Structure 1
Amino acid sequence: MTLLILLLAYIVRRALDSADRLDPDSFWIRCTRAGSRRAPGKRWQRTTGVALLAIPALGLIALNHWLRDSSWSVMIYPLDFLILMLLLGAPGWSGRLAAYGEAWRRGDMNAAWHHVKSCLRERERGSATAPESLHLALSNRFMATVFERYFLIMFWYVVGGIGVAFLVRGTLALRDHWPQRSARPAFGAVVSVLAWLPARLLSLSFGVAGDLAGWLSEGRRSVFSPAANHEKVLMTAANGALTGYALDPVRFARIHPEDWMNFGGLSLAAIRNLLNRSMLVWICALALLVIAGILR
């Protein structure tokens, strides 16, 4: 049932993302406003955030165990599906990426930057002035967002259940939206720990779903680099697994100058296809675990 719930939640969530509906961030932003009152110190700020997250997560774990041992055990499945569907998702990207690709095709890089500037980190908005820098920064953010909002949550749902998945998604929200900015790096460090193994599994998936030879020559090094963060691991692996220099704008412009105006759209389409194929690899791997009796 775990695989079935995962598939249903993924399909429904992808449909909602395409329609740009039910943004989970709005819920998490409202939840983190409880910490907007200034706390006396950084330790207290972090403790408040952990408490706001841990209490409902522990409640979900306890509810799941109670249902499993009660006559209402069948309710576990719709509950897991509903919560998982609400935890997943990154709406808003489809429209922004389409507008970005169209602006790139017209050669209007100022418009392209304005379409996606809200997706970039604050420190990247000023430095991403050259087309190459802008595109690499956007590709990095898009890939990291899809990893965190889908692959990371799904991995921990399979490993630990819906309570752990809620904990992981809540930690992402604390890192991104906690009102006291000084406390956010601590939550970011926790995310890095949680993402260490799933990011390397996704990197391996890139090799299976993409150009294996290119991945072996470039991307595999990041898998065996214990200190590399998940964003660097994914970008390095994707660059090796993608053909046609989809993540190397400088070489693409030198080798295919006649197609430079289409590079933005072509590159993003290649990244999206690689992520979709990698998700299929994960689903097939989970199906094999079900067949082997390891996953129920």
Structure 2
Amino acid sequence: MNFLVLLLVVGIEKFSPWRRRVQADGLWIRQLRRVEKPRSDSIRAWWIIALLVLLPAMVLGVVLSAIEPIAYGLLALPVHLLVVLFSLGRGGVQAGLGPFRDACRRGDTEGAYLVARRDLGIDEATPEALAARVQQRFVWQAFEGFFAIVFWYALLGPVLALVYRLVALIVEHSAMPGLRERAALLQHALDWLPARALAVTFGLVGDFVALNQALLNRLLDWDISAARLVTDAGRSAAELSVPTLDEDGNVSLDALWQLLVRSAVLWYVVLALWVVFV
């Protein structure tokens, strides 16, 4: 059933606005604002995570345990589908990049700075650093919004996919530094395995030799962030040069996108073979 759900997710994502309707975070964010306080110790932060992440996950687990034996699991199918749609990233991977790419196409460095600051929340001192940050944001959104969810859903089901998204929402929306720090630590732990899986996939669908030379000694490093790992892996596998704010920068973003698409196809092929032969 998991593979069928993932196929339906791709179809809905491409041809329907359902994902935006399912991803209604308002009620959950209001609960986050209600329970968090400006000052709190680490114990309270963990209690908030238990309340807003573990409790919904436990309720989902109980519901699925109750309905999965009924009608050969058909009643569980829409629940799986809704949970995965909710757990996907907010916004599109390429959303908001249009004006930035237009500025790069014109060679308008100042315009690219202004658009990146306004639309992407990115502000860097040099053109190379700005282009590198945009590439990192691009690859990270694809990983955090899709690949990590697919990985945990395929491996352990919808409960882990929901946990990942709720933890990510705390990192994004919490106004309490201690809570945000502990949620970020949890997300780092949840990112560790899928980030390595995606990095290896980049090598399989791109330049494996370049990736091996660039990342082999860092692949098992706990301290490196998932965003940096997958971005460096993507750049190496796509054989990208120094990032620039011109048409070559747009070509680099296109190369990263094609690498991500090929990686997604490979993951789906592996899942299909797993369903057929295991």
TM-score by length of 2: 0.88
Judge which range, 35-44 or 55-64, deviates more.
Answer: 35-44
Question: Whole-Å Cα distance in 1 between the matches of residues 217 and 268 of structure 2?
Answer: 25
Question: Whole-Å Cα distance in 2 between the matches of residues 148 and 185 of structure 1?
Answer: 17
Q: CA deviation at 1:285?
A: 1.2
Aligned match for 1:209, one of 181, 205, 223: 205
Aligned match for 1:175, one of 143, 166, 171: 171
Contact 2:167 2:187 in 1 (8 A): yes
Residues 24-35 of structure 1 correspond to what in structure 2 (within 5 A)? 24=23, 26-27=25-26, 29-35=29-35
Judge which range, 96-105 or 25-34, deviates more.
Answer: 25-34
Judge which range, 70-79 or 55-64, deviates more.
Answer: 70-79
**Could you tell me which residue of structure 2 aligns to residue 8 of structure 1?**
8
Map Cα deviations across residues 94-135 of structure 1 (whole Å, 9 max, x no partner). Answer: 3421211111122222322333336656xx52xx13211101
Q: CA deviation at 1:71?
A: 4.8
Contact 1:219 1:241 in 2 (8 A): no
2:264 is the counterpart of 1:265: no
1:222–1:23 CA distance, 2 compared to 1 (3 A): farther
Q: CA deviation at 1:38?
A: 4.2
% identical aligned pairs = 26
Residues 15-54 of structure 1 correspond to what in structure 2 (within 5 A)? 15=15, 21-22=20-21, 24=23, 26-27=25-26, 29-38=29-38, 40-54=40-54
2:271 is the counterpart of 1:275: no
Q: State the one-letter code of the partner of 1:143.
A: V
Aligned match for 2:139, one of 127, 137, 143: 143
Residues 78-117 of structure 1 correspond to what in structure 2 (within 5 A)? 78-117=78-117
Judge which range, 193-202 or 159-168, deviates more.
Answer: 159-168
Judge which range, 178-187 or 58-67, deviates more.
Answer: 178-187
Q: CA deviation at 1:219?
A: 3.5
Contact 1:219 1:238 in 2 (8 A): no
**Could you tell me which residue of structure 2 aligns to residue 256 of structure 1?**
none
Q: CA deviation at 1:177?
A: 0.9
Contact 1:199 1:233 in 2 (8 A): yes
1:185–1:157 CA distance, 2 compared to 1 (3 A): same
Question: Whole-Å Cα distance in 2 between the matches of residues 72 and 227 of structure 1?
Answer: 44
Q: Which runs of 5+ in 1 are unaligned?
A: 254-259
| Secondary structure of residue in 1 paired with 2:251 | helix
Map Cα deviations across residues 194-222 of structure 1 (whole Å, 9 max, x no partner). Answer: 11111000001001111223223324333
* RMSD over equivalenced CA pairs, Å: 2.6
Map Cα deviations across residues 234-286 of structure 1 (whole Å, 9 max, x no partner). Answer: 122112101352xx22xxx7xxxxxx730221111111111111111111111
Question: Whole-Å Cα distance in 2 between the matches of residues 43 and 179 of structure 1?
Answer: 17
Q: CA deviation at 1:183?
A: 1.9
Judge which range, 219-228 or 273-282, deviates more.
Answer: 219-228
Question: Whole-Å Cα distance in 2 between the matches of residues 201 and 93 of structure 1?
Answer: 20
**Could you tell me which residue of structure 2 aligns to residue 76 of structure 1?**
76
Q: Which runs of 5+ in 2 are unaligned?
A: none
1:26–1:264 CA distance, 2 compared to 1 (3 A): farther
Q: State the one-letter code of the partner of 1:100.
A: F
Question: Whole-Å Cα distance in 2 between the matches of residues 276 and 238 of structure 1?
Answer: 12
Q: State the one-letter code of the partner of 2:267.
A: W
Contact 2:104 2:246 in 1 (8 A): yes
| Secondary structure of residue in 1 paired with 2:74 | helix
TM-score by length of 1: 0.83
Q: CA deviation at 1:136?
A: 0.6
Question: Whole-Å Cα distance in 1 between the matches of residues 270 and 138 of structure 2?
Answer: 24
Question: Whole-Å Cα distance in 1 between the matches of residues 132 and 103 of structure 2?
Answer: 16
Map Cα deviations across residues 51-109 of structure 1 (whole Å, 9 max, x no partner). Answer: 12211110001110111234583110111112211221341543421211111122222
Residues paired across the two proteins, number = 277
1:20–1:162 CA distance, 2 compared to 1 (3 A): closer
Contact 2:88 2:146 in 1 (8 A): yes
Judge which range, 69-78 or 236-245, deviates more.
Answer: 69-78
1:3–1:20 CA distance, 2 compared to 1 (3 A): closer
